[in-house]
A and B are shown apart, each in its own frame.
Chain A
């Protein structure tokens, strides 16, 4: 059974770079993956989607600060968010994007597996 586990520092200083890794177990990393965050007491925010080849798509409001990467040898994918401020304080989730692809194109089946989430606080 596929499981996702986020890891990374729980405290990041303002203006520094937030770095998180999601470890994939129980299945191949050959899929689409995503990063979602949730500020305290607020709703869900999509940050990025990344294919196992490394191709990535970012939320336009964060695009200038976000980079993602995939390490297929370790079955991991990562998120880096630079120049963080208090507004980046949130629970960060990694997710699998369930999909299929055939001659008609992509069919999406939702974010079907979520990590437990990791809390990142931006503070000096």
Chain B
């Protein structure tokens, strides 16, 4: 069974600061991880795939890293539009997927 944890559940950050979100998967996966952003009342938006590749149109302040079981999404110089919920998604058994529970980034 695939288990994904995201931490923290909620992250309070001031605009202009850096947010670091963690995603831990089990069992071990390679770089088969994506990140999505979801704002209230909207569909999710793809940010990162392959653990570190930004999707088309995603600003450079979003960066992904990690491999194996531990992955990180870093949002540098947070803008007002970045306050949202972020989900990681593993796809080691593509096209089967598992989403993490999400991390909410809110304004400090």
Contact = CB atoms under 8 A, between A and B. Distances in A.
Contact of B91 (A93, A108, A116, A117): A108
Contacts of B55: 109-110, 112
Interface residues of B, number: 26
Contacts of B44: 36, 44, 93, 111, 114
Given A108-B91, A117-B43, A46 B97 contact: yes
A110 to B, nearest CB: 4
Contact of B96 (A36, A46, A116): A46
A117 to B, nearest CB: 5
Interface size class for chain A? 20 to 34
Interface string B20-44: 0000000000001010101000011
Interface of A is mostly: strand
Given A44-B38, A110-B46, A111-B36, 18 more contacts: A43-B99, A43-B100, A44-B87, A44-B99, A49-B97, A57-B96, A93-B44, A108-B32, A108-B49, A108-B91, A109-B49, A110-B49, A111-B34, A111-B46, A112-B46, A112-B55, A115-B43, A117-B43
B102 A43 contact: yes
Nearest to B45: A114
A114 B95 contact: no
